[in-house]
Structure 1
């Protein structure tokens, strides 16, 4: 099944390349669509297959949004969510893309829902990683071992958390007023307090 994954990658790369070229929208859509529909039965790495197909759907959705077809892009992003994004970064990409599509049609309630969902996903991931780090630390204490593993993962999650909070806060600052704007003030300092910007 290596040939199937190579074909999938070829479709995706060709679609991405054409999407960046003027006047190649239809061809780009053709290959991105083909990538998203390629049968993954029996592939050696189902997660990599799914990751590529979700990437194709998101890129296709971005093309449609840029061409003034937000409703089509919303449906494509929802398809991507149903495929289950394979990692936190892809979750963030899909959720933010869907939120922006809803914002473009003036559906601010749905837009906020997905911006907030992106924040929640990062917080849940950060909590899981912290629990795993605590478990490792307790194990190392019991076995008299020392380990620094896990710190990089936590740092990555916190970096994602900063980006997710800031994106959501910008949405709130632009689209809400009055008492709900307090939420914006809460979301801005929270991640920055954990990840202060470097001085100088």
Structure 2
């Protein structure tokens, strides 16, 4: 009954059919579909549609929609070969089956707090890059290059800073790893890295941005 009530909220017949198919595929061995199953199926469909939207391939001056990005690896010999079954996107947000992805202005975010931070940074007109992968060097290791991601790279008054939104996954036991990660950014020239709680970023984003930019301004 509750599952049917949840489905009634969806007016698009095609989407409703896909939601039912997804829910059924997740409920093999179960006697009935619950409201929770329908909600999970709706979330999966939204994530799938968002992923397809972000994986638009331009070919022969035409935009074609593809389920899995067809990417190309450029080798040392300057040859180019197709790499199938690999989704590539410089925005580092991964897709998790049971976790929502929030979108704003064509960008993806892990939480509502991150969206609020993006809007606040936008209001003050600074250059920022959310959830982007950076390619950097670990000077403590020989020939060490790696990808790392920051929540927000922010450029202000000629200086770069990193603003981190620490959500529920940031626990005391993970602090050592976070400090090691911050040090690696320091080694690569990012002097300013500030962390703010998820709740503060969501409730008072403008205050967070104001404080963060003041720190960048003072540190030179």
Q: Given the two structures, how large is their TM-score scaled by the length of structure 1?
A: 0.27
Q: Given the two structures, how large is their TM-score scaled by the length of structure 2?
A: 0.25
Whose helix proportion is higher, 1 or 2?
1
Whose strand proportion is higher, 1 or 2?
2
